[in-house]
Amino acid sequence: MDETWVPDDAWLGTETIRLLDGAALSLDPAGGFRWLGDKGRPEPGRPRPLWITARMTHVFSIGALLGRAADAARVDHGLAAMLGPFHDAEHGGWFPALADSGEPENTAKTAYEHAFVLLAASSARIAGRAGADRLLELATQTVLTRFWDENAGRLVEEWDRSWSRLDSYRGANANMHAVEAFLTAADATGDASWRERAGRIATSIIDGAARAQAWRIPEHYDQDWTPLPEHNRVRPADPFRPYGATPGHGLEWARLLLHLDAVSRLTGRTPEPWLAEAAERLFDRAVADGWRAGGDGGPPGFVYTTDWDGVPVVRQRYHWVACEAIATAAVLAEVTGRPVYRERYAEFWRSARDLFIAPAAGFGWVHEVDDVDPPAQRTWSGRPDWYHAVQATLIPRVPAAPSLPAALARADATDLLSALPH
């Protein structure tokens, strides 16, 4: 294929529709959304994770904002699941996964999943869906009373079911997704305190910890927020708590800082000068450490993790990292006007096309590729995650804003797909 290829708006619109249609196959009549296998069927024996149901509800809220009536109904399906079987009616909060029986697979209450419930509720409210207000009310109460640590300006990580025992671990991953959720909650409610909290999270983890670590983000901390650089060294490819630095999170954080910076442009407030600077530093570090153009004996793409000197540890290439690289390069190109980011944007899209889209045989994106036998399934099997890819097709086509759903609501979002079949 032409190595000068860059996706145009028509291609991106077609890909958005293709992804939304593929994601719809995850709908479970019993409630929520399932973990899909490579052929578009739920993987047998898999529980229904809350993070999938919440992310899919967010994704279909985007589809509803694009004028897709079927996606609006899927939003309602996701809201009903989070107001119903996933919700712990006795103690509050949400179970992280449901077994086929409908009973909780386990009962821990974790910040990661609750951040996505807040994101889903906020996106659904922006999309105008019934049920969103009630879910947003419950999510707000739970996140602020159980997870938000006002003194630390960050989220704690994990409680037991009855909220009586708090685990000592603290993590940057859940807090990163909380920044996205908080910005979307602010757009959904008009409550600026959500943006203030997002800014406090970013200041401590990025302007503090990441800046001190040469822009490699410490992911793991103890209860006093002291970094734990050796955490999970024996399980370096953990899908949620890997050892070392994660270039994909550097890219994702860089984009989120630019969304935080967009708050200033929209509200007339004086921008925080460190946000744009840190976004560029994070991007540069992630590319320098993680990007491999194929000269290391493996395929082009970003490695999953590195050590604290930038040496790759887990060399698998994951689709979500490519998606974040694409979206972040697009926003940096818009905000800075620097041609290098537009060049990187095109380069990352060509890599994603060859590595994750073309081999997917028309169904979503391949999730994981390694140096030996692509596609791989060492960490991720099947196609459980669609939200990164959907967002990568849309973020380059809308102005930088605090949240993607609000950007779509402010624009005439239906124009993004108007020339294409629904």
The predicted-structure confidence for 341-380, as pLDDT tens digits, reads as follows: 999 999 999 999 999 999 888 889 999 988 755 566 767 7
Q: If we measure between CA atoms, which residue out of 293, 227, 286 comes closest to residue 254?
A: 286
Confidence of residue 295 (pLDDT cuts 50, 70, 90): low
Does residue 422 register a pLDDT over 50? no
Nearest-angstrom CA–CA distance, 137 and 203: 27
Measuring CA to CA, which residue among 294, 268, 256, 309 is closest to residue 374?
A: 294
User: 3-class DSSP state for residue 289?
Assistant: helix
- pLDDT value, residue 375: 60
pLDDT at 250: 98
d(CA 147, CA 238): 23
**Omega cis (within 30) before 229:** no
Confirm if 394 and 408 have CB atoms less than 8 A apart: yes
Instruction: Using a pLDDT cut of 70, give the percent of the chain over it.
Output: 94
The domain locations on the chain are 9-236+244-404
Q: Which residues are catalytic?
A: 249, 388
C-beta neighbour count of 203 within 10 angstroms: 17
Phi–psi pair at 110, nearest 5 degrees: -120, 145
Tens-digit pLDDT profile for residues 104-161? 999 999 999 999 999 999 999 999 999 999 999 999 999 999 999 999 999 999 999 9
What are the pLDDT digits (tens) for 47-79? 999 999 999 999 999 999 999 999 999 999 999
pLDDT at 317: 92
Cβ atoms < 10 Å from Cβ of 288? 12
pLDDT digits (tens, 9 = 90+) for 64-119: 999 999 999 999 999 999 999 999 999 999 999 999 999 999 999 999 999 999 99
Mean pLDDT taken over the chain:
93
- Would the pLDDT of 414 be above 90? no
**CB pairs under 8 A, 24+ apart, for 183-186?**
183/256, 183/259, 183/260, 183/263, 183/402, 183/403, 184/118, 184/119, 184/122, 184/123, 184/126, 184/402, 184/403, 184/404, 184/405, 184/406, 185/118, 185/119, 185/121, 185/122, 185/136, 185/140, 186/402, 186/403
pLDDT bracket for residue 5 (50, 70, 90):
very high
Which residue, 230, 254, 227, 234, is CA-closest to 244? 230
Task: Report the CATH fold assignment for 9-236+244-404.
Answer: Glycosyltransferase (1.50.10)
At 1 the pLDDT is: 54
Nearest to 388 by CA among 115, 245, 231, 177: 177
How far, CA to CA in Å, does 153 sit from each of 174, 196, 241? Answer: 13, 10, 21
Three-class DSSP labels, 72-129: HHHHHHHHHHHHCCCECCCCCCECCEECCCCCEEECCEEHHHHHHHHHHHHHHHHCCC
Predicted pLDDT of residue 264: 83
Question: Which pLDDT band holds residue 418 (cuts at 50, 70, 90)?
Answer: low
The amino acid at residue 323 is: C
